Amino acid sequence: MFAGAPLQEAVSAYREAFTAWRADSAELELLRTAHDTRVREAQDLREALDEVEAADPQPGEDVELAERADRLSNLEELRAAAAQAKALVSAEDLGDGAPDAIALVDSARRHLDRVIDHDAALAPVAEALQSAGFLLADAATELSGYLTGLDADGGRELEVVQERRALLTSLVRRHGTSLDDVLEFRRTGGLRLVELDGDDERIEGLEASVERSTFGTANLS
């Protein structure tokens, strides 16, 4: 009866040691058996990751490139539309002597200014027209900047953009269905490669652990 507690402790310690030995032995056997396969996996994974790292895709880059390609493919149409809009909003002469939008709004405001003293109800309308004139002037400035910023060498830039899109598309085909899949592959693949490259060190550690567990269970049995 007095040996009950020490015996239970010994049995429990033996079971723990045996469980650890069995788990380490199984993992060690798996690593040894699959060593060549894991070496090949690491090599293939390293080559694939090197390819992704060389391309260095960024989150959302595919969407940004698609937008740039669309813009560059339609430069002339964009330039013509922006120039016509600029002329209609703010131009000294539209070609047929017609006033631009800023001049028309300013003329409307001045007409009201002449009679506001007779009816204060027109004051808010005049203020709104004045604000509209300011907004139109801002729009004209933005259109001028837009026209200045349009790339005159759009053909070459479009070629560069399309080459980049083709590179990203090839990565997507190999590693998923979207650029997000490629980025996830780079993350998880890197972690997997670290694990595979640590096989030799892990095997050494398991061999030492199995040896200690074997010695421990022998002493407890």
Both 80 and 135 in one domain: the answer is: yes
| Residues shown for the chain | 221
pTM of the entire predicted model:
0.61
Q: Which residue has the higher pLDDT, 204 or 167?
A: 167
Mean pLDDT, residues 89-103 taken together: 76
203: exposed, middle or buried (C-beta count within 10 Å: 0-12, 13-18, 19+)?
middle
Quick check: 3 pLDDT over 70? no
Average the pLDDT over each of 95-104, 163-172, 197-206 and give the range with the smallest value.
197-206
Range of the domain at 153: 74-160
Looking at the structure, do residues 82 and 147 belong to the same domain, yes or no?
yes
The answer on 41 and 100 residing in a single domain is: no
Tell me: do 80 and 156 sit in the same domain.
Answer: yes
What residues contact 175, with CB distance under 8 A and at least 6 apart?
48, 52, 181, 182, 185
Residue 109's contacts (CB-CB under 8 Å, 6 or more residues apart) are 126, 129, 130, 133
Domain end among 160, 185, 210: 160
Which of left, alpha, beta for 88 (phi over 0: left; psi -120 to 50: alpha)? alpha
96 or 166, which is more confident: 166
User: Do 25 and 82 lie in a common domain?
Assistant: no
What's the average model confidence in pLDDT over 106-135?
Answer: 95
Does residue 171 form part of some domain?
no
Q: Does any domain span residue 212?
A: yes
Q: 69 in a domain, yes or no?
A: no
Helices (H), 56-198: 61-73, 75-89, 101-113, 123-149, 154-175, 179-197
Residue 153: pLDDT above 70? no
Q: Are residues 98 and 130 in the same domain?
A: yes
In 3-state terms, the chain is what percent helix, strand and coil (to 5)? 85, 0, 15
Residues 83 and 52 in one domain: no
Domain shared by 58 and 82, yes or no? no
Q: What is the mean pLDDT of the chain?
A: 84
Residue 165 has pLDDT above 60, yes or no: yes
What percent of the chain shows pLDDT beyond 90?
55
pLDDT at 97: 65
